[in-house]
Every structure is written in C-alpha cells, then in structure tokens.
Amino acid sequence: MIKKENYFLIFSLLFVRTVSVSSFGYSKRQQHMWSQEFKKCDGNLQSPIALSTKKSVRLPLPALEMNGYHDFLFQPLSLKNNGHSVSLNFEKNKIKNKRSPFIFGGLLNINQEYELEGLHFHWGRKNDRGSEHSLNGVRYPMEMHIIHRNMAYPKMENAMVNVDGLAVLGIFFQLQDNDNENLKPLSQNLPSIRWIDNQISLNTSITLSSLLPNDIDTFYTYRGSLTTPPCSEAVTWIIFSTPVPISFRQMNQFRILSNGEDILADNYRKLQKLGKRKVYLRKLIQNYSSYYNQFDVNVTSLDWYWQ
C-alpha cells in the first residue's frame, strides 16, 4: 500500500516532468539547459546562424516557387500567444476542394513540394535585437518563420525526424515611421492575445505574399534545425536578404504581450556554430540570363557540407 506522502511525491515528479517537457525559456542559462532535455539541441546542424555574404557560396540557383501565396488564406485562421511566440494557424481538415499553399524549387528536393504548416515570430525587447539569424553582423528587431512540411511525409512528427522534412522561410523586419498596412490584420489583433494561451479567430483576409519582402529572388539557404526544442535537424532554411518594413508602433504592439511571468520578448535563440556547413546565396546579377546559360547549375550535385 502506497502511503499518502508517496502519492504526493509521485504527483510532484509527474508535474515537474510535464512542465519541463512543455516549457522552455530564452535566458542564457535556460538555453544552455535545452540539450539536457532535448539531445538534438547540442547537435552539429543547429540554427540560427550568422549569415555572411562574403562567406556564402554565390550561385545562380533555381528560383523558389510559391503556389497559393497570392490567394487569401482560408478560414478559420487563428492568432495565438503560446507563451513563446505569436503564431498564425489554420485547420486543414476543415478545408474542402482547396489546397494549402506550398513551395518548391531553390535547393529543395527535386520533384518534391513543401506544404504550409503555419508561421510565427521572434522579436526583441529593444530595437537592436530580436531576429534569430543575423546578416552581415546585423540583428534585426524581428524575424518571421513560415514553416512548410515535405509532403513526402504525412505528418509533422514524421517530417521532423528526416533531414529533408521541413523548409522554413525566414523573413527579417526593419523599422520605419509609418505603419505597414499589410501587417495590420495581425498587429491590430495583438491586444486581444495579450496573455499566455489567449487565442482569437481572425475575421480578416490575408495573403502570405503580403507578408513577404519585395525581393524574393535573393535568398540564403542552408541545412539546419528548428530554433526551439526539440531542435530537430530537419530544416532547409531559406532566408530572404531584403527585410519587410514595420513601424515603431507596430513593433511595440508585440512587446505588450506576456509569457505568463514577464514581457514576451527576446524570444530568440543564440547563434549556433556553422561548422562544416555551406551557405548558398542566390542573387540575381545584371545580364543574369546569359550568365545563367553559361553556368547551368545541377542542383542535385551540390553538397550541403564542406569536405
């Protein structure tokens, strides 16, 4: 027979275990502890990284194709404060006769398509930080991630254990005085999700293309990981060099959110070691078409790592 105090001990251990798995923090100490619970967080292909134009391999890579990005995202759409970020989600099983947006091209697997799963943001408490990746020494105040699953894998849990399972678009945000009208469907609803686990349904229409930078032809791409636990090394990153504008007022609307204990901000991971990984840069140049014809890239022969 189990004594009453032992019941309490078992309950306490189960409670601590549940909290430790479902929660994590962004302080220096907390990030250091991630790998104790999630071994992949100490892997060799971790993200984010410091991107450098000079250290990237510049090639005339195929364009990234985006299907359905100009269509209005189907309802129901929901905006949620999950304590770690703000996420935009939709319920695929309620969609009939309409396909989710998907991407292909670039250095993604030939003849494979990656379907939209959702998007979220990372931002700083102050304007000199917030983005997860840095570009040429600059850390922007916010970065958005649009997550896609390789349709060769039926579910996210399958995709997350394969090196080619996910493709994530990274978009930087740069401050300006005037509001970005395209962001208003999201930013104006942030006060409604101020507290952790608050979620609202959006009754406004939005397209993914409206959230992208003007230049989507220039991007960096490399093999990496999720930037939050479990840090699965399953991501092909595609990061646009041109930022999206956001006003000071809109940026501050993100900073009114709560994570349950404090302001929800500085929710970005420290930079990880690049190691032997290659970073490719697709950048159009003058007279690009003739250059491309002279240097036709066989993407299947490109290696993601230095030997």
Using an 8 Å Cβ cutoff, are 282 and 237 in contact?
A: no
Q: Where are the beta strands (DSSP E) in 108-183?
A: 114-123, 134-135, 142-150, 166-176
* CB-based burial, 105-142: b 16+ in 10 Å, e otherwise: bbbbeeeebbbbbbbbbbbbeeeebbbbbbbeeebbbb
Question: Of these residues, 84, 133, 145, 148, which one is catalytic?
Answer: 84
* Secondary structure (3-state) at 75: coil
Q: Where are the beta strands (DSSP E) in 111-150?
A: 114-123, 134-135, 142-150
CA 130 → CA 126, 141, 191, 221, 260, distances in Å? 8, 4, 20, 20, 19
Sign of CA dihedral 20, 44, 125, 119: negative
Q: Is 236 left (phi over 0), alpha (psi -120 to 50) or beta?
A: beta
d(CA 238, CA 128) in angstroms, rounded, equals 23
CA 29 → CA 259, 267, 284, distances in Å? 17, 14, 42
Query: DSSP string spanning 250-274?
Result: HHHHHTT-B-SSSBS----PPP---
Tell me if residue 84 is catalytic.
yes
Residues catalogued as catalytic: 84
